[in-house]
Amino acid sequence: MRLTNYSDYALRTLMYLAVMPKDADLATIQDIADGYQISKSHLTKIIHQLAQLGYIESIRGKNGGIRLARRPEQINLGEVLRYTEPDFATVPCFVDARPANDKLEPTIEKDNKAAQVSCMIQPSCLLKNVFYEATQAFIAVMDSYTLADITRNGDKLWALLR
């Protein structure tokens, strides 16, 4: 499984904000882009979504910037990925459905002619069940970690980002 750059950058943004020294000013999008050497314009969209989802707080104005809106131990990595990944379709014959219970439950595409044409055995294939189980295991592992877990070495991370 490969995550999108969008999810990667979202997690990195949260990590950056989590390891900032407590006495530091607010971070800017440019600070984060420079720290990771990634595109500022791509990061802008991610920051906007993270703010809408309540993970970060965005302060406008001359002395504005961004910071975490929640404590790192309150930010679950699996939850972040559910919001930032467009789907978890490891094979063309399933798509990600985001049910009310917020569990990853891919559904099998029945009417997608492209999926039917690309794989002749789709109607009887059991491999998709293996991929589904593997995806569930991946999400379960991600659900078991918080931002605090992956930023315990904050001083070392911050030194690399500055």
pLDDT of residue 160 exceeding 50, the answer is: yes
Query: Is the same domain home to 29 and 45?
Result: yes
Lowest-confidence segment of 7-21, 67-81, 107-121 by average pLDDT:
107-121
Closest CA to 139 of 100, 84, 64: 84
Query: Is the same domain home to 62 and 25?
Result: yes
Select, from the ranges 21-25, 33-37, 98-102, the one with the highest average predicted confidence (pLDDT).
33-37
DSSP symbol at 47: H
What tens digit of pLDDT does each residue of 40-98 get?
Answer: 999 999 999 999 999 999 998 888 899 999 999 999 999 999 999 988 877 777 643 33
Query: Is the same domain home to 139 and 91?
Result: yes
Query: Is the same domain home to 32 and 10?
Result: yes
Please give the tally of structural domains in the chain.
2
CA–CA separation, 157 and 35 (whole Å): 10
For residue 24, give its domain range: 5-75+146-161
Would you tell me how many other CB atoms lie within 10 Å of the CB of residue 134?
A: 12
- Residue 107 domain-assigned? yes
Tokens of 139: 């999400």
Q: Are 70 and 54 in contact (CB under 8 A)?
A: yes
**3-state secondary structure (DSSP) of residue 73:** helix
- Residue 81 domain-assigned? no
Query: Is the same domain home to 46 and 67?
Result: yes
